Amino acid sequence: MIGNHDVARPASRYRLDEGFTPQTVSRLIALGDRDAEAGARRARAAALVLLALPGSAYIYQGEELGLPEVTDIGDGARQDPRFFRTKGEFPGRDGCRVPLPWSGTLPPFGFSSEHAAAAPWLPQPAAWAEYTVEAELKDPRSMLSLYRDALDLRRAGIGLGDGPFEWIDAEPTTLAFRRGADFISITNFAAHSLALPQGAELILGSEELVDGKLPSDSTAWLRPQHEPTENPNTKRKARQ
């Protein structure tokens, strides 16, 4: 898994070039809206890495929508005991626990009935209208569409799940591994685009290729090209 209910959401956390610490949420609050696109791109890349690895894949609710960490929850609305124990020094984990947006253009986005006696336990940002399941299902380039496409491929029997696994030697800015003979996952961490193996077929990418190359902060699922198998009968005739 790449996230859970105790850490800032990947789409926001990956805006920082560092691991998670107790100060991460405070750093994201100070960061404001900067580097939001980079965080979302990295979260898309990480999703494909997760779903290509061996074994079961655990997806924390909201990751499939690319939800960002909610950093503007008022002190009066916070619920996390960590916030109260530290007297506000650490904002706590409420930002990754905000209820999911399902449909519509206004909170509570279908999470609860418009006739509900109370609002959800944490406030949803108005900007989440673009992250609803309803909205993302209409967008073939959305995070939800990416997850659905990847999960369909996992179920299609292309060698993922509990299949074999082998690391591929690559540059330090590249993460590459093979799952059996017909599947390769490549992630590009470099600041420049990466040339893909010659003849490989793109199965799925977290971003579109640029001039046939994998952009920075992106993952590609590939079907490698195989060398043609030599027919022994042809070799025998050639010797004659």
**Domain ranges (residues) in the chain:** 10-154, 164-223
Q: Provide the pLDDT for residue 19.
A: 85
CA distance 80 to 111: 21
222 neighbors 188 (Cβ within 8 angstroms):
no
H or E element, residue 42:
helix 36-52
- What would the pLDDT profile of 102-145 be if each residue is shown by its tens digit? 999 999 999 998 788 888 999 999 999 999 999 999 999 999 99
Q: Is the pLDDT of residue 226 over 60?
A: yes
pLDDT surpassing 60 at residue 239: no
The CATH superfamily assigned to 164-223 is: Golgi alpha-mannosidase II (2.60.40.1180)
pLDDT of residue 161: 80
Pairwise CA distance, residues 234 & 83, whole Å: 75
Please report the pLDDT score of residue 98 as a whole number: 97
Burial (CB count within 10 angstroms: exposed 0-12, middle 13-18, buried 19+), residue 26: middle
| Tokens 């990947």 -> residue | 10
Phi, psi of 10 (to 5 degrees): -55, -40
- Spatial CB neighbours of 210, under 8 Å, sequence gap ≥ 6: 193
Contact, 174 vs 219, CB < 8 A?
Answer: no
CA distance 170 to 185: 12
Cis peptide before 108 (omega within 30 of 0): yes
Q: Which CATH class is domain 10-154?
A: alpha beta
CA distances for 103 relative to 43, 63, 107, 131, 136, angstroms: 23, 17, 9, 9, 10
Q: Do 10-154 and 164-223 agree at the fold level?
A: no
Span 42-85, pLDDT tens digits? 999 999 999 999 999 999 999 999 999 999 999 999 999 999 99
